[in-house]
Structure 1
């Protein structure tokens, strides 16, 4: 979901606020104004949301106040830019947002956005001025960085003091990391200037995107507005493909840098584009002029590089191996369709050894329920689809003679409802998977009509708080059918269905997208047992420790979440009964983790994470912070030593990675990638334990034919496994 823009990563929350016409506009650069297409898109969106939204609410004065509050929170949620006087100026618009949308007059919201940019720029200019003098770190003072419930600053003087502490903390972080004053001053001045440059690059589409999402998120937590740029990125995320050169790009200072080269894409095949290269110019065609893109915002550079298949793009690159002063190279590439394999389903095999017996447990990792809707609609036989990919992987795992399967849906936020249904069908014979109730109360079943199962053996679904929507549909169906165990944390609790509305279909017929898309809630889904995952999520059969984020993350944290309800169960018959199996598996699980060093280490790391997460204030005293840093270093070193002992690593202990005081764009891309790869290599304790639980199930089944008859689907009958 795209509810915050680029500057969120730059500590500047970019969600707009509507303003009155008498609010001062931006004076140091061009004032942003809404386009005719944007005002039309706002009114068109309102017509859909007030008529076809699942829990449709009128766009009136009451809704206007909610939009106002959401817009203001998104824009300056940490209360870093506006003063109470600014907020008072805005107050006349509190009940006027509805009129602004219906009358297609967004001058108020845009005036407030312009003021936001002006105030943010002023704050950053002030931050830069503080760097000349430096700070006294012997004083006993602190900085409260959790400002969600803070009051608005009464005046500019109060804001100055807040920013003094904010900049002092930035300086102190770099000082603790070993930087000298000259280097710190240079780093922070460049950082704040880059923030200002990005503010200057904002355009009307950014302002409109932010304002419309304030409206959309007020109607429902999962309703979003996508402008033309955001709509294109959402489409790519769903179909896992695009037409371009096959490179993941990242902004770093004023440059666009190559973060990843996608295997099989034009960039990779050319062998002329590498991680860390800086793209400084882009030209269209074989001989079109090269346009300088230094200092451009990332999405503008990306739009120049993307293009239709079989067209040519030329890149002017500073190779990473030569440094900034190196010779520039021109690379000519022919765009092609690029598949983003990193987000596709993957498989691996875990070998579990217990009591002298080795069992092979296949694992399928699925980041999302993706589907290329357009390719499927056009009849492409090779269209990208989560269920098709998983079916292929299951067949490969069967050939590898695995004994059981774990489907890892941790942090899978959902995706296509039809894909969740189709994937459930890989593990059941036939039958309903989910019930969908529309706003008029009618209920339809999404059903697996394909006979047979691709996998009929022991199965577990691994979930956590980030498992949501389509993932919850799949996990709930597997649980209701008794088809497999659900293991992990209680899930997110999103029980609503969204539909994507292409607003350009209802416009003036222009081919170029200009109105964007609306992702709005049109229905609620229910389990086949009649219950709902809304708010409550899916409760695991075997529970793992929570990470403590449930009060901050999940459907229950939204003020306007729909309530939990239930309906009549669908007509279905469980294929197995796992109830008698679960206590035995829980007993084995508890016995094992009680003497498992990796599990104890995970619990200790979770406890340390919770303790640090609950902090809302930091000291600005050097001695105090240095003592805290040394404590963190000792704790992390002890954790690393324990990891080494568990993994049997005899190498020297690596240096503990402490806070370096830098933002992501200031770090070396190659160092970032190295750290991410190291993290990927770390032992996944929960996944390993889930594999052990499935291995325990296999052992119990093999030793007890009566138990097998209860817990295996269609035991003693033909499962008609589809190969």
Structure 2
């Protein structure tokens, strides 16, 4: 059997975050988890009942982890699988060691130089340990890490009890310690943490909190930090350590435990079987942050945002398990399940205390579509210039190249697909007198290669879309084979630095074909292809035991021959860069593949926009010079980049308060100008100041509402992109000679002018 045949599905995604820590948010989604009947019936007590599965002390690896580690090392050193296989030797061990330390304590807030000296004996031994399945060094280092976290938290909490802080000096808090040396001793860490606690205190004080409230809030915050680390399980430690190896191979290779693999696949499918709710951890309790419209939770009318889930039971008669104090992913695992099965929840309303007797809610799990993460559309009316008619520009916002792989394999006609959703929205535009379409791919980190190809096929009439080169050097050409075009009219693609992978394939193909204008910022620069390898495939396990490996198997190239690797897709018309390329993007990785080029493949050129660009840029510059929102955005970008370059912040209250007042005055002035000029108001202008709180400390309902309101904030970049497209339409319609230059094949489907 060819090694590539064991790979599950092409993936083109931005880097996965390490999943060693709970981020506080989770979707209630499908699982095959059965009820754990060993847990006791929930009592009336509302005190935390810690999850027995949580690590009390990081022990040694399990047998499954030892086997999984050997599988991973075998795959990543084998050229039949990995695009850039690397021998597991002392050099790679040193790289792993550095990455594992960075994951545990990247801010150098916990370990001392003495700890690092103690760990240094592992630096060139991790390769042998990993190959032999001896993972004790990872657990030993983590045990010291957890001990140091507890020590730092104890120091911070004691500081809150005995100190009254003043903020009238010239001292600063040095928060960026990436290049700093490790603290010499505990006393140096004490000094660092004193400044950190003072900064936390000052933020809350500036937000109007009283001293007693500040002490209570910060004490609980630091306690939660210690508890969140204490809740980490052996599988978290294992995944983090194995990813220090996987990420040393290349930035986009990751190991996923069985649970992480399930969550990753769900994020790609945009559909799940569960109750249809988003949960968030707040202190010791899991609360409902959002209700998914149309799901069982929403349809029942019995739960609402802010409600706390304190116990969960399976089926109609299974025991109720007290879940207070549990990790959020463990609570989700108990709530989610197969369509048609029952789950019972004991719920305390948001407005009630935790000692209130809960209400029991019985829900039947069902399949839920996550519409808020799917493609969306709207229409912008763009005024004509120089007496020209107004233009109606359709906008499609695509947050990801999602696909329900399992649904597609099973020929499920209802499977989630970015291409199918975009095709439906384009068809709706037909009845809305839309003159052109902007496809918004900002912050679209990628997804399915198949979706990138098929989405391109909506705008071209057959042809190559991307070239894929494997480790052997073999190059295959993937393209659209379906005749016909879903949208033949004017097209623009809006991108930014957060547009990666599949987004870059699509934008690059549209640019190479001359099918549309590409507008915005240079993209992320990820030009590699990943695939999921199921490590349970070889032993043919019936249950998931060993997890999955997301590994780089190929590099992709545009049909013009160039790679997007490191360089990204450069737009035809550029907006000011919001993020510096030295701070974010593929080029920031120390082990990223270099840029390279291969031969181009023949493809249709629908047009050449270069003769049009100077006029479009001139109109763009003239327009944004008078566009208040665009100028404000430009100012904010400049301020953001200036702030990002700093590594410390003042702890002088008068200085910080003056800065806060200046920012507040600026927001109010802008809102007043919007009212005066009749512009759309910023719905968050009155609520944009720093409240000093962590996400888990805010009012969950209000915070979710603010998140929704943020979607309605003025978006000058999108509107300007639509205006640029409207300019192009007008110029080509008004100037036949220019149109002939730009649209060299006007008889080819994809024409711009009538």
Q: What TM bracket, shorter-length normalisation?
A: over 0.9
- What does residue 239 of structure 1 align with? 269
Say whether residues 1:40 and 2:67 are aligned partners: yes
- Once the two structures are superposed, the pairs formed by residues 280-359 of structure 1 within 5 Å of their partners are 280-324=310-354, 326-354=356-384, 355=387, 357-359=389-391
- Once the two structures are superposed, the pairs formed by residues 180-199 of structure 1 within 5 Å of their partners are 180-199=210-229
- What does residue 472 of structure 2 align with? 440
Distance 1:417 1:652 in 2: 37
SS of 2:657's equivalent in the other structure is helix
Contact 2:388 2:730 in 1 (8 A): no
Pick from 149, 160, 165: which aligns with 1:120? 149
Distance 1:652 1:457 in 2: 34
Residue deviations 1:693-719 (CA, integer Å, cap 9, x gap) = 111111122223343344458523566
- What does residue 58 of structure 2 align with? 31
Distance 1:647 1:105 in 2: 67
Distance 1:442 1:646 in 2: 59
Post-superposition offset of 1:677: 2.6
Residue deviations 1:278-331 (CA, integer Å, cap 9, x gap) = 111100011212111111111000000011111100011011244545442111
The 1:605–1:642 alpha-carbon spacing in structure 2 relative to 1, beyond 3 Å, is farther
- Tell me whether 620-629 or 678-687 shows the greater mean CA deviation: 620-629
Distance 1:718 1:195 in 2: 58
Distance 2:112 2:193 in 1: 13
Distance 1:139 1:711 in 2: 63
- Once the two structures are superposed, the pairs formed by residues 160-239 of structure 1 within 5 Å of their partners are 160-239=190-269
- What does residue 702 of structure 2 align with? 671
Contact 2:280 2:286 in 1 (8 A): yes
Say whether residues 1:630 and 2:657 are aligned partners: no
The 1:327–1:544 alpha-carbon spacing in structure 2 relative to 1, beyond 3 Å, is same
The 1:652–1:9 alpha-carbon spacing in structure 2 relative to 1, beyond 3 Å, is closer
SS of 2:390's equivalent in the other structure is strand
- What does residue 739 of structure 2 align with? 708
- What does residue 4 of structure 2 align with? none
Post-superposition offset of 1:607: 2.0
Distance 2:669 2:524 in 1: 33
Contact 2:61 2:135 in 1 (8 A): yes
Say whether residues 1:130 and 2:144 are aligned partners: no
- What does residue 596 of structure 1 align with? 627
Pick from 249, 270, 295: which aligns with 1:265? 295
Contact 2:271 2:369 in 1 (8 A): yes
- Once the two structures are superposed, the pairs formed by residues 500-579 of structure 1 within 5 Å of their partners are 500-507=532-539, 509-579=540-610
Pick from 381, 388, 402: which aligns with 1:370? 402
Distance 1:590 1:652 in 2: 28
Distance 2:630 2:358 in 1: 51
Structure 2 residue runs of 5 or longer lacking an equivalent are 1-15, 26-54
The 1:571–1:158 alpha-carbon spacing in structure 2 relative to 1, beyond 3 Å, is same
Post-superposition offset of 1:186: 1.1
Number of equivalences: 703
Q: CA RMSD in A?
A: 2.0
The 1:328–1:151 alpha-carbon spacing in structure 2 relative to 1, beyond 3 Å, is same
Distance 1:538 1:521 in 2: 20
Say whether residues 1:692 and 2:692 are aligned partners: no
Say whether residues 1:49 and 2:73 are aligned partners: no
- What does residue 116 of structure 2 align with? 87
- What does residue 253 of structure 1 align with? 283
Contact 1:368 1:386 in 2 (8 A): yes
Contact 2:152 2:193 in 1 (8 A): yes
- Tell me whether 400-409 or 174-183 shows the greater mean CA deviation: 174-183
The 1:718–1:108 alpha-carbon spacing in structure 2 relative to 1, beyond 3 Å, is closer
- Once the two structures are superposed, the pairs formed by residues 379-458 of structure 1 within 5 Å of their partners are 379-458=411-490
- What does residue 712 of structure 2 align with? 681
Residue deviations 1:22-66 (CA, integer Å, cap 9, x gap) = xxxxxx943332111111111101111111211111011111000
Post-superposition offset of 1:659: 1.6
- What does residue 2 of structure 1 align with? 17
Distance 1:142 1:717 in 2: 63
Contact 1:39 1:106 in 2 (8 A): yes
Distance 2:444 2:681 in 1: 35
Residue deviations 1:642-687 (CA, integer Å, cap 9, x gap) = 4444544699996353221110000001221232233221111011
Contact 1:285 1:312 in 2 (8 A): yes
Distance 2:382 2:749 in 1: 29
Post-superposition offset of 1:134: 2.0
- What does residue 479 of structure 1 align with? 511
Structure 1 residue runs of 5 or longer lacking an equivalent are 11-27
- What does residue 31 of structure 2 align with? none
Residue deviations 1:213-248 (CA, integer Å, cap 9, x gap) = 111111101111111121111000111111110001
Distance 1:318 1:91 in 2: 50
Contact 2:674 2:681 in 1 (8 A): no
Contact 1:2 1:224 in 2 (8 A): no
Distance 2:76 2:217 in 1: 46
Using structure 1 for the length normalisation, give the TM-score.
Answer: 0.94
Contact 1:282 1:314 in 2 (8 A): yes
Post-superposition offset of 1:9: 7.5
The 1:504–1:108 alpha-carbon spacing in structure 2 relative to 1, beyond 3 Å, is same
Distance 2:17 2:685 in 1: 37
Say whether residues 1:101 and 2:125 are aligned partners: no
Post-superposition offset of 1:598: 2.0
- What does residue 279 of structure 1 align with? 309
SS of 1:131's equivalent in the other structure is helix
The 1:41–1:632 alpha-carbon spacing in structure 2 relative to 1, beyond 3 Å, is same
- What does residue 640 of structure 1 align with? 671
Say whether residues 1:71 and 2:71 are aligned partners: no
Contact 1:2 1:226 in 2 (8 A): no
